[in-house]
Amino acid sequence: MPTTTDTIPVFFSSDDNYLPFLAVSMRSLIDNLAPGTRCDIHILNSGLNPSRARLLLEMATDTVRVHLVDVSRQIAPLTEQLNLRDYYTASIYFRLFIPSLFPQYHKAIYLDADIAVNGDLSRLYRIPLGSRLLGAVPDGIIASHRDFREYAELGLGIPYRRYFNSGVLLMNLDQFRMQQIERKFVCLLNTYHFDTVCPDQDYLNVLCRGQVLYLDQGWNKMSIDECYPGTPDLIHYNMFYKPWQYRSICYQEYFWKYAAATPFYEEIRRMQRAFGWKERYGHMTANRALHRNARRISRADNNFRCVLSGGTASAAPEWSRAYEA
């Protein structure tokens, strides 16, 4: 197997519904790699349509290999406890298992599938992390609204300017293994079943607090606005800001540029045409629910901040013993 000394490992996670957008992300990544750069793309999944998945495998080049990795067995024991809503699937948690599933790697990049890569990803990979757990970018959506800012600080105990988005991660896998982050995540999940707004992201922010290298916004520029000088290296069409649904999304031209070079282009265009008022209303309803949940969790006495700081929850000492075990 390759090591990080000669090959850049990049991980995505996806289900069948997201394969067209994953293809766009992969196309953009491959097109912008520096010539001669070797890269292994690992697609974490729990079962994919073989004929559609084959289209992703066919995107491989002489220097970029594509692997499908079924993690159903690893995620199965946790499935009943995962905090999922109708727009989340278990795939959001797959990134937490990368360190144990791939012991041959010291370092890796994780990307969400709703991303367009405009820069050379090898530049991101070469950023030194030292002993930090990961490199990430503060979350622009969390910072954009009072409800979410208060959620980060009162619900999680994380200063909102330090709350990072988990859609782009430069991961120090050695440190993840050394500090047993996966084990601590499972312990937290099994012990408390915390209510969350951004499930995997909230857990990662809590577990990695104080051990994050904050990267330039250009490595995870969200499509909520175009407040960035020049062209971002990586555009993240996060939450409800997706060009395959709406027609006036910031930086949408980059998405469609790469989409046109994939076998899913016409399918994605049909999705956009089919996205009507019913779907828009569903988004508005879901967005209002997110804000309500953020406010409710911020005021609860059994949230991350209260429990893990020994606040009002009596189970905090129990967590402390389990965490240190």
Place of tokens 């097109």: 31
- Label residue 25 exposed, middle or buried (CB < 10 Å: 0-12, 13-18, 19+): buried
Q: Is the dihedral of CA 43, 44, 45, 47 positive or negative?
A: positive
Q: Tens digits of per-residue pLDDT, 177-189?
A: 999 999 998 888 8
Q: Please state the domain extents for the chain.
A: 8-324
Q: What is the mean pLDDT of the chain?
A: 89
To the nearest 10 degrees (0 to 180), the angle between helices 181-192 and 199-207 is: 120
* Residue pair 31/270 in contact by the 8 Å Cβ criterion: no
Q: Tens digits of per-residue pLDDT, 63-114?
A: 999 999 998 887 666 555 555 444 445 556 788 989 999 999 999 999 999 9
Topology of domain 8-324 in CATH is Spore Coat Polysaccharide Biosynthesis Protein SpsA; Chain A (3.90.550)
Average the pLDDT over 41-60 and give the result. Answer: 96
Q: How far is CA 34 from CA 2, 37, 105, 261, in A?
A: 19, 6, 21, 19
**For the chain, give me the number of helices (H) and strands (E)?**
15, 10
The yes-or-no verdict on residue 323 having pLDDT over 50 is no
